[in-house]
Amino acid sequence: MEEDRIDTKLVHSGEKPCPLTRALRVPVYMTSTFVYENFDELMKGRYFYTRIQNPTLEVLEEKLAEIEGGERALVTASGMAAITIAVMSCLEKDGRVVTSDIIYGGTHDLFTKILPRLGFEVSYVDFGDISRLEEELKRGASVVYFESPANPTMKVIDIEEVSKVAHEAGVTVLFDNTFATPYCQQPLRLGVDVNIESLTKYLSGHGDALGGAVIGRRDYILNLRGTWSTIFGATMSPLNAWLVLRGVKTLHVRMERHCRNAMVLAEFLEDHPKVKRVLYPGLPSHPQHEIAKKQMRCFGGMLSFEVENTTIAMNVMNNLRMSYIGVSLGDVETLVEWPAYMTHMTMPRKERRKLGITDTLIRVSVGLEDPDDIIEDFDQALSQA
């Protein structure tokens, strides 16, 4: 498989030394405008204004397109900017989004607070039930949207099957690959039309820059850049692109350890008497473990677990000494968060319950510390909870 050489692509794709100075790294072109001596030069010019295009962003875009197996990529100021323009560019009057019922909190807000106001219909479906999805698509749709593993229940959805059903109905498929990253899973090769990444998370990997990316076919991305990103001003800062470039180069090395540490922690938690349930796609007990094995190279650094009651949940988080409480993920440090009271707070409790986002669910972004230290931290936190 082509993606097996992803390690080399992560290091080399899109980048070459500057022919003029022989600098190995692309500079941060921290400029808003590009100027010319005369109109002839201007007509031949490649860059005009950073909101439209900038050489540092372009290097990152070439790299991401090659890594993901897409024709073109567009980078944006954040993952939410990427999701917003990627979805909206597919909608025309009376457009309709059919989305998986379990999605990132910010995307859920876009789908509940903004799209309906503009006259677009959004329908939520359990994508684990393919016949239900087929039924829903008979009513017509502009976009099918989903994530896998999904935040925060780690539900895994069959990407090939959903893409096939959507394409039979003539609908464009958009996917958010932030949890898995292109190292663990390559959605464009599994049939989705448009893949989205929050670069803020694993791809930058060091918790120091916001960014997003949309990867897909040439015409789609050219329109997204020329119209949507340019008009909305969704452009990424060149400095952030440079930071993400520095992070992306080691994605394979970091993901291997994230995956290994997450597996070790998942197994430890599964055996712990105070833990009710562990949700990690790499565990044979995960309800969609077989689908995960089919479409993922490895199972990522995210897991969730449930404890008996909310008092224990709060105590566990308060007791942690090394791991921090925080909403982001994919950083080098282990971060925990409480979806019902943090990332998914705006979702009505009844809806949360239906999706399995219980009040006792804790999400962990397993970091790159020594696995023994991570386990010791959770062990002491649980034993005093």
Beta strands in the chain (DSSP E): 72-76, 96-100, 121-125, 143-147, 172-176, 194-198, 212-216, 275-279, 302-307, 324-325, 335-337, 361-365
187 makes contact with ligand PLP (CB under 6 A): no
Which residue lies nearer to ligand PLP by CB, 323 or 365? 365
Q: Using omega within 30 degrees of 0 as the cis cutoff, is the peptide bond preceding 149 cis?
A: yes
Q: Which is nearer to ligand PLP, 56 or 151 (CB)?
A: 151
- Residue from 155, 201, 225, 286 that binds ligand PLP (CB under 6 A)? 201
Name the phi and psi angles at 47, rounded to 5.
-120, 145
Between 194 and 381, CB nearer to ligand PLP: 194
Query: Does 357 engage in binding with ligand PLP (CB under 6 A)?
Result: no
Is 176 considered catalytic here? yes
Q: Look at strands 143-147 and 121-125 and give their pairing.
A: unpaired
Please pick, from the candidates 58, 176, 306, 331, the single residue that binds ligand PLP as defined by CB under 6 A: 176
> Which of 79/385 has CB closer to ligand PLP?
79
How far is it, in rounded angstroms, from Cα 229 to Cα 374? 41
Q: State the nearest-atom distance from the C-beta of 133 to ligand PLP, in Å.
A: 20
Distance from chain centroid for Cα 189: 16
Name the DSSP letter for residue 31.
-
Task: Check binding of 106 to ligand PLP (CB under 6 A).
Answer: yes
Residue 198 lies near ligand PLP (rule: CB under 6 A): yes
What is the total count of residues that contact ligand PLP (CB under 6 A)? Answer: 16
How many residues make up the chain in this entry? Answer: 385
Q: Name which of 14 and 212 has its Cβ closer to ligand PLP.
A: 212
Contact indicator for 181, 64 with CB cutoff of 8 Å: no
* 137-156 footprint of ligand PLP as x/- string (CB under 6 A): ----------x---x-----
Residue pair 382/272 in contact (Cβ under 8 Å)? The answer is: yes
CB of 260 within 8 A of CB of 300? no
Does position 76 bind ligand PLP by CB under 6 A? Answer: no
- For the bound state, the minimum distance from the C-beta of residue 103 to ligand PLP, rounded and expressed in Å, comes to 8
341 is catalytic: no
State yes or no: is 350 an active-site residue. no
Q: Please tell me the distance from the alpha carbon of residue 75 to that of residue 38, in angstroms, as a whole number.
A: 30
Residues carrying an active site annotation: 51, 104, 176, 201
Question: Applying CB under 6 A, which residues contact ligand PLP?
Answer: 78-80, 104, 106, 147, 151, 176, 178-179, 198, 200-201, 210, 212, 329
